[in-house]
């Protein structure tokens, strides 16, 4: 009997236990669009209810799965357990910026006020951090005056950001130029930012998007091809290379290849969702006169997201 007990215990010892989730592991699950990310985030908050990082990851998971209202609740809980940290307020502002699209017209003003307060609190708690100031600048730039919007305040934040980070200073000047319809200036400033931080994916993306908006197709293709050559597994670079083909109607075989490579990558929350890649691939195939392949791509886009109205309209028009 004693030997049977020892044998049972030894067998149990060989069975691997599931590791408890951590903020880092949940963050990785969310980034990889893991279907279990939300459950893991909820488990994390039960295990670490006084850790603001746990509530931040739950807010992000809820938001990813389309639960903006619950995301707000989780972010507010993060604020309550760490009222002196800027990160919970910044997260709260992120989820409120999504929640505002779900509420009625009269409720929007209240949500906008909460959003501005969260951003201003984050800036007050961490005046040397760029992220809260950049988000607040965007709020001032985009919000109507009745909700606290102000171009003077936006420019003041831009000046403060430039004093903290020269490259980011150029990037926010580009954003202001875009707001004012000065695309040439915006492109120049984004390029200056990229020259100072050539590995920045955000600056690389902004340069390319600006070239697309200006319909400078040869430069846009060259920009994204260079990026893909440097980072062959970059979802952003591959998607935008394909999108350039879809928008321009040029270099269509390159566009097909770019989207095929993008769709073969592991899921990443920082990349566009696959439904949009299938839609753009359909546009490329339509430009090429390959109607059946275009139909297949549009149908796949709708299968992945029934709310992809652009793909639905493209199917009807095909």
User: Per residue in 217-242, pLDDT tens?
Assistant: 999 999 999 999 999 999 999 999 99
- Domain membership flag for residue 81: yes
Q: Do 303 and 204 share a domain, yes or no?
A: no
Give the pLDDT of residue 18. Answer: 55
Average pLDDT, the chain: 93
- With a CB cutoff of 8 Å and minimum separation 6, the contacts of 170 are 162, 189, 190, 192, 193, 196
Q: What is the pLDDT of residue 20?
A: 79
In the predicted model, is pLDDT for residue 197 greater than 70?
yes
The last residue of one of the domains, among 125, 143, 168, is: 125
Residue 289 lies in a domain: yes
Instruction: Assess whether 222 and 317 both reside in one domain.
Output: yes
Residue 90 covered by a domain: yes
* Separation in Å, CA 113 to CA 45, 149, 219, 225, 278: 28, 11, 41, 43, 38
pLDDT tens for 54-68 read 999 999 999 999 999
Task: Establish if 1 belongs to a structural domain.
Answer: no
Residue 66's CATH number: 1.25.40.10
Over residues 193-221, mean pLDDT: 98
Q: What is the dihedral of CA 120, 122, 124, 126, to 10 degrees?
A: -150
- In this predicted structure, the answer to whether residue 112 has a pLDDT above a threshold of 80 is yes
Interval 90-111 mean pLDDT: 95
In this model, does residue 187 exceed pLDDT 90? Answer: yes
Q: Is residue 13 in a domain?
A: no
Judge contact between 92 and 72, C-beta under 8 A: yes
What would you report as the CA-atom Rg of the chain, rounded to the nearest whole angstrom?
Answer: 23
Cα separation of 63 and 38, whole Å?
A: 10
Burial 55-93, CB ≥16 within 10 A → b, else e: bbbbbbbbbbbebbebbbebbbbbbebbeebbbbbbbbb
Over residues 176-195, the mean pLDDT reads 98
User: Which residues constitute the domain of residue 196?
Assistant: 127-214
User: How would residue 19 be classed by pLDDT, with cut points 50, 70 and 90?
Assistant: low
Our count of domains for the chain comes to 3
Q: Is the pLDDT of residue 11 over 80?
A: no
Same-domain status, 184 and 232: no
User: Is residue 63 domain-resident?
Assistant: yes
**Is the same domain home to 117 and 137?**
no
**Are 316 and 274 within one domain?**
yes
Q: Residue 148 — φ and ψ, nearest 5°?
A: 95, 5
């Amino acid at each position: 009997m004693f030997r049977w007990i020892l044998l049972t215990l030894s067998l149990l010892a060989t069975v691997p236990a599931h590791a408890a989730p951590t903020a880092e592991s949940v963050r990785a699950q969310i980034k990889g669009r893991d279907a279990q990310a939300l459950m893991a985030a909820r488990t994390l908050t039960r295990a670490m209810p006084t850790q603001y990082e746990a509530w931040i990851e739950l807010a992000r998971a809820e938001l990813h799965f389309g639960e903006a209202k619950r995301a707000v609740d989780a972010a507010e809980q993060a604020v309550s357990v760490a009222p002196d940290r800027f990160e919970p307020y910044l997260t709260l502002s992120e989820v409120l910026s999504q929640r505002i699209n779900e509420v009625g017209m009269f409720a929007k003003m209240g949500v906008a006020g909460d959003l501005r307060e969260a951003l201003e609190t984050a800036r007050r708690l961490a005046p040397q951090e760029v992220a809260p100031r950049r988000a607040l600048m965007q709020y001032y730039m985009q919000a109507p005056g009745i909700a606290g919007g102000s171009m003077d305040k936006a420019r003041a934040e831009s000046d403060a950001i430039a004093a903290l980070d020269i490259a980011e200073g150029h990037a926010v000047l580009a954003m202001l130029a875009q707001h004012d319809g000065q695309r040439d200036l915006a492109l120049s400033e984004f390029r200056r930012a990229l020259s100072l931080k050539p590995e920045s994916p955000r600056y690389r993306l902004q340069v390319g998007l600006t070239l697309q908006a200006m319909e400078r197709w040869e430069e846009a293709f060259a920009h994204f091809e260079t990026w893909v050559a440097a980072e062959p597994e970059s979802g952003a670079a591959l998607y935008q290379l394909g999108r350039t083909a879809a928008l321009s109607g040029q270099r269509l075989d390159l566009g097909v290849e770019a989207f095929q490579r993008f769709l073969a990558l592991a899921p990443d929350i920082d990349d566009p969702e696959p439904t949009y890649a299938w839609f753009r691939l359909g546009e490329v195939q339509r430009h090429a006169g390959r109607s059946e392949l275009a139909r297949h791509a549009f149908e796949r886009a709708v299968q992945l997201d029934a709310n992809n109205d652009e793909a639905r309209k493209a199917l009807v028009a095909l």
